[in-house]
Structure 1
Amino acid sequence: MVILIGNQKGGAGKSTLTLLLANFLTLVKRRNVLVIDMDHQQSVAQKYEKSKITDNVPPYEVMAADLADYPSMHELLNATSTNQVVLIDLPGKLDDDGLIKIFQSAHWVICPFAYDELSFESTIFFSVVLQKLNPRAMITYIPNRVKANVRYELRRDVDEQLANFGQVTEPLPDRIDFQRITTLHTPPSLDPVVGPVFEQLYHDYIQPL
């Protein structure tokens, strides 16, 4: 299963969400996971390299890659076990034709966003492009780093618009603990925050496959 984590808007929390989901799938669900870091900053790959300095065995592999690498990688992914979950942390821009094949290969797309006008517009644009390139892909929107003072009316209106493309989950609040996630560990204080969201998504999308 190929899962993309992306949005047109930089700073939406793609890399953090990639780490959270990879940790959940491997440490909680004991699934075989491969992470492909295509984000320009490659923060997930950097954390992975740092983790290898310790004596701990990483629960999953992280590969740093460019968009140009994907055509050959896609053939390799097709030959792997159907039990493997591949998470791809996408770049923050859609202005590269190399993204076309990646979008077309996705089974499921997770799109983090914030409740503000710029993030909403970027999320809608990302969704329209994705739907044109791969209308079969499932889309899940995760409100991320949500402040406590977000107006209910704004949240309701945004959720209604995004529901035209896919599912909107419960929001993840803005917590300092998100900065302490590694490829080996998710702080226990985040379990009650992200656990219910990921459990539901696992039950709906991954477990049936």
Structure 2
Amino acid sequence: MITIIGNQKGGVGKSTLAVLAANYLTIERGATATIIDMDYQQSVSQKYEKAKVLENDEPYEVFPATLESYPILSSVLHRNASHAILIDLPGKLDDDGLLPVFESADLVICPFAYDEFTYQSTVLFTVVLKKINPKIEIVFVPNRIKANAKFEIMTEVNAQLQKLGQITAPIPDRVDFQRITTVYTPVSLVPVVYPVFEQIFEARLWKK
């Protein structure tokens, strides 16, 4: 299964969510996963290389890639229930190189925050994605949500996004997200993030 982790809006935690998802799938569930790092900052690839320097046993592989290289790369990606391909997208919509990525994906995980600009960017990203790949499933993840987020705004945004896809439980903004690596999810974060990934992947990768 090919899963995009993306949003047009930067700073919503795409790369962190990609690592957390891969950690959950491999460390917690014993699945096979691969991250394709297409983000311009290549932060996932940097975490991966740092972990290798420390001689950790990597539970999955991370491949830095560009939009231009994806058509060739996609021909070797495995589409089966036991191998999850996670693609960390760049935060943009104005590149034709995104078309084959969007067309090949089965699922998009779209992190967002409860502010007007991020909401508008999220809707635009979703509408464009759906036009290119009408069959793709969309899961919205409220991410890095601060404790003072207004309930009224959250309720209104959720009501609108539910018309476009599924919404998971929110992931709060916490300082221990800075301690995540490609071999380790802090124990304090497990009860916060793993239920979200269970909600996303359980019915799609493991039939109940």
- The aligned counterpart of 1:100 is 99
- The aligned counterpart of 1:196 is 195
Question: What SS does the aligned partner of 1:191 have?
Answer: helix
CA–CA separation in structure 1 for the residues paired with 2:185 and 2:101: 28
Question: In the alignment, residue 50 of structure 1 is paired with which amino acid?
Answer: K
Q: Which residue of 1 aligns with 2:39?
A: 39
Give aligned-pair identity as a percent. 54
C-alpha separation between the residues in 1 aligned to 2:111 and 2:193?
13
Distance in 1 (alpha carbons) for counterparts of 2:203 and 2:122: 22
Alignment of 1:43-58 (within 5 A): 43-58=43-58
2:156 aligned with 1:165: no
Which residue identity does 2:201 align to in structure 1? Y
- Offset at residue 204 of structure 1 (A): 2.5
In the TM superposition, residue 129 of structure 1 has moved relative to its aligned partner by 0.3
Secondary structure of 1:67 counterpart: coil
Which residue pairs with 1:85 in the alignment?
84
Structure 1 unaligned runs (5+)? none
Q: Find the aligned partners of 2:58 and 2:118 in 1 and give their Cα distance.
A: 33
Root-mean-square deviation (Å): 1.3
Q: What is the count of residue pairs matched by the alignment?
A: 208
What's the offset of the Cα at 1:55? 2.2
Q: Work out the CA distance in 1 between the residues paired with 2:194 and 2:181.
A: 17
Displacement after TM superposition at 1:150 (Å): 1.1
User: Using the alignment, how far apart are the partners of 1:139 and 1:98 within structure 2?
Assistant: 20
Asked if 1:122 is matched to 2:113, the reply is: no
Q: Where do 5+ consecutive residues of structure 2 fail to align? A: none
Distance in 2, Cα, partners of 1:160 & 1:56: 43
SS at match of 1:88: strand
Deviations 1:152-197 (A, max 9, x none): 1100110011011100111000000111100010000001111211
TM-score normalised by L of structure 1: 0.97
Aligned to 2:21: 21
Using the TM superposition, give the Cα deviation of residue 82 of structure 1 relative to its aligned residue in structure 2, in angstroms.
4.9
The aligned runs of 1:141-180 (5 Å cut-off) are 141-180=140-179
Q: Determine the structure 2 residue equivalent to 1:208.
A: 207
SS of equivalent to 2:96: coil
